[in-house]
Amino acid sequence: MSTTPPAGILAALERMHLLHGASPPGEPLAGGVSSDIWRIDLPSGPVCVKRALAKLRVSADWQAPVERNLYEARWMQVANQAVPGVTPALLGQDAATGTLAMAYLPADRYPLWKGKLRDGQVDPAFAAAAARALVRIHAATAAQPSLAADFPTDRIFHDIRLEPYLTQSGRAHPDLAGRMQALIETTQRNKHALVHGDISPKNILSGPDGPVFLDAECAWWGDPAFDLAFCQNHLLLKCLWVPSKRDALLACFRAMTAAYLPQVSWEPPAAFEARAAHLLPALLLARVDGKSPVEYITTDADRHTVRKVARRLLLAPADGLADVVRAWEEEIVR
């Protein structure tokens, strides 16, 4: 149902020179925990407007600076230069309020990958396409180290990724706190390329021409291993959400690995893979014991499964992604 968008969003559109005159109708869109998202029907056609929240919509006290929206807009511009069409077209950005406007992509033509996975539409070829798009962005930006100056977001990335995921999981598992801190330090030290920071099926549209990435609020010049591990983590977890598609989801994990690793050009692929493999169990644990647990892991039995595999791999790290997925598969088929 159409309604009048918030005055702050309309004012931001005016400052972007996208709105002139009467207030247009709009509709709030379902989104993540970190932003207000609206479809607004301008005379020229619908647009999607996103305004960052200072306090995220989770039960824990999770604060994040709204200026992250500025770096999301920058990430979109850079990513589209590397892989045209990999994000919605950026139409405007209002830094004062942390608001950006982008092309509206209708759900009937651009369904969320997460929704397709939930419905059992699991295609390893699409997972490989997402990995190829991701590694192209990483490789293109790694070749432009001057871009690092445009993304001074170490503090933001720490506040909305490393602290709520890894530090918080260390608090929940004190015997692993040192391991989590070591992973944080390794991730912070390896600055190679432009990182999205939230590559997951909920932020990837399945478009007619391939994957489209959304929600780069965590954009950071840092370790691209975080992006691959972050996405593959979700494929493992979804084996518990859609158990009938377990084998296909594991095939998606392997397809991403096979598509991504041969294109690593900025460092030895084995070094990259080891960091991704070390991060993965920490991210698994974070999605049950961090500040933002996934909503579909709801039973004690499933949480126990995640903790068991994650703890095993954190205490005895595997250097290969194949070893990680094998450990996960061995546990969930019992």
317 phi/psi in degrees, rounded to 5: -60, 140
One pLDDT digit (tens) per residue for the chain, 334 residues: 568 788 888 888 988 998 887 788 888 887 655 678 889 999 888 999 988 775 544 444 445 556 778 899 999 999 999 999 999 999 998 887 888 899 999 999 999 999 999 999 999 999 999 999 999 999 999 999 999 999 999 998 998 899 999 999 999 999 999 999 999 999 999 999 999 999 999 999 999 999 999 999 899 999 999 999 999 999 999 999 999 999 999 999 999 999 999 999 999 999 999 999 999 999 999 999 999 899 999 999 999 999 999 999 999 999 999 999 999 999 998 7
Domain definitions of the chain by residue range: 7-103, 113-332
For residue 66, what pLDDT is reported?
62
For residue 167, what pLDDT is reported?
98
- Environment class of residue 112 by beta-carbon count within 10 Å: exposed (0-12), middle (13-18) or buried (19+)? middle
Q: Decide: 329 and 320 in contact? Cβ < 8 Å.
A: no
What is the assigned CATH class of domain 7-103? alpha beta
Question: Is the alpha carbon torsion for 268, 271, 272, 273 positive or negative?
Answer: positive
CA distances from 135 to 60, 152, 225 (A): 33, 22, 10
**Six-digit token pair at 77?**
């511009």
For residue 75, what pLDDT is reported?
96
Q: Decide: 208 and 227 in contact? Cβ < 8 Å.
A: no
For residue 10, what pLDDT is reported?
87
Q: Decide: 38 and 46 in contact? Cβ < 8 Å.
A: no
For residue 61, what pLDDT is reported?
44
Beta bridge pairs of residue 102: 48, 90
For residue 110, what pLDDT is reported?
97
pLDDT in tens, 231-283: 999 999 999 999 999 999 999 999 999 999 999 999 999 999 999 999 999 99
Give the DSSP H/E element, type plus range, for residue 70: helix 68-82
The pTM (predicted TM-score) of the whole model is 0.93
113-332 belongs to CATH 3.30.1370.100: no
Length of the chain (residues)? 334
